[in-house]
Amino acid sequence: MNAPIGVFDSGIGGLTVAKEIMRQIPGESLVYFGDTARVPYGSKSKNTVCKYSKQIAKFLLTQDVKAIVIACNTASALAREELEDMVDVPVIDVVQPGARMAASTKNNKIGVIGTQSTIKSGIYESYLHKINPELTVVSKACPLFVPLVEEGLFEDRITEDVVSRYLHDMKEYEIDALVLGCTHYPLLRGVIGREMGESVKLVNPAYETAKSLKDLLKEKDLLNVSGEKPEHKFFVSDGVDQFRSFANSILPYQVENTTVVDIESY
Ligand code: DGL
């Protein structure tokens, strides 16, 4: 089926998920929506994030998407069930695939980092304990990581200081897997990896999500087998230029056009 896949995020971070989808399922077209006018979601309430996510899902359905990927961890944590009830296409979030991957830890001690709202929701713990009730899960919100990534400070002394400040205590728990439970964090994996040490496996939910999406499309017979070249479309709620330059710095695809959508009207 050559309908596109809808992917959304609170802003630019979900492009890390779009990138993985393009890499793992290169035949699929994407419609990406970044809510750049209302970012961040990570400090907002469930009510607000659900309202925003539903508006975006309504918009994506106008683009005839065959599935929706919630690329944002915060929206996955707070709005997945509401979206599933609302739409009649498959919905994939980033939390469940990330938790599944992390659960294959060797010493049963897992760390989870994310935005304040994701960590407060306890969603990763709850999925992880469903998979294995024996797991010890240590969670920590790292709110300053998002602005550091948005400023492009992937490798910088300031980033090293902030990463060390947030993660220093977590090292005492001797975790052997750390879930990068926010769209932006995979872009800091160099600094985070050095702080945590080689024995800690960094789990990128974006990678697992693209894998789960591929399996789901196969299972539901929705893969694009037309052989036509995929066509990607990008939409935002504000800040076209900043979005496009970030997108072109991380995607294996040249983004020429980005369209602003009045998302409040959905
Ligand atoms: N996309 C968000 C997430 O993965 C991070 C940015 C935000 O706070 O909106 O949780």
With bands split at pLDDT 50, 70 and 90, how would you rate the model's confidence at 138?
very high
With bands split at pLDDT 50, 70 and 90, how would you rate the model's confidence at 104?
confident
The rounded Å distance from CA 114 to ligand 1 centre is: 8
Model pLDDT for residues 116-136, shown as the tens digit of each residue:
999 999 999 999 999 999 999
The rounded Å distance from CA 117 to ligand 1 centre is: 9
Beta bridge partner(s), residue 234: 32, 258
Q: Is pLDDT above 80 for 196?
A: yes
One-letter-per-residue 3-state SS of 203-220? ECHHHHHHHHHHHHHHHC
What is the pLDDT, as a whole number, of residue 199?
94
Region 225-229: mean pLDDT is: 89
Q: Output the pTM of the full model.
A: 0.96
Region 216-227: mean pLDDT is: 94
With bands split at pLDDT 50, 70 and 90, how would you rate the model's confidence at 227?
confident
Choosing from 38, 74, 179, 203 the residue with most ligand 1 atoms within 8 A of its CB, the one to mutate for a pocket test is: 74
The rounded Å distance from CA 13 to ligand 1 centre is: 7
Q: How far apart (Å, rounded) are the C-alpha atoms in residues 102 and 99?
A: 5
Model pLDDT for residues 47-86, shown as the tens digit of each residue:
999 999 999 999 999 999 999 999 999 999 999 999 999 9
Sole residue written with tokens 């300053």: 144
CA dihedral 132, 134, 140, 145 (to 10 degrees): -40
One-letter-per-residue 3-state SS of the chain? CCCCEEEEECCCCCHHHHHHHHHHCCCCCEEEEECCCCCCCCCCCHHHHHHHHHHHHHHHHHCCCCEEEECCHHHHHHHHHHHHHHCCCCEEECHHHHHHHHCCCCCCEEEEEECHHHHHHCHHHHHHHHHCCCCEEEEEECCCHHHHHHCCCCCCHHHHHHHHHHHCHHHHHCCCEEEEECCCHHHHHHHHHHHHCCCCEEECHHHHHHHHHHHHHHHCCCCCCCCCCCCCEEEECCCHHHHHHHHHHHCCCCCCCEEECCHHHC
In short, whether 42's Cβ falls inside 6 Å of ligand 1 is yes
Q: Is pLDDT above 90 for 262?
A: yes
Sign of the CA dihedral running 117, 266, 184, 214: positive
With bands split at pLDDT 50, 70 and 90, how would you rate the model's confidence at 258?
very high
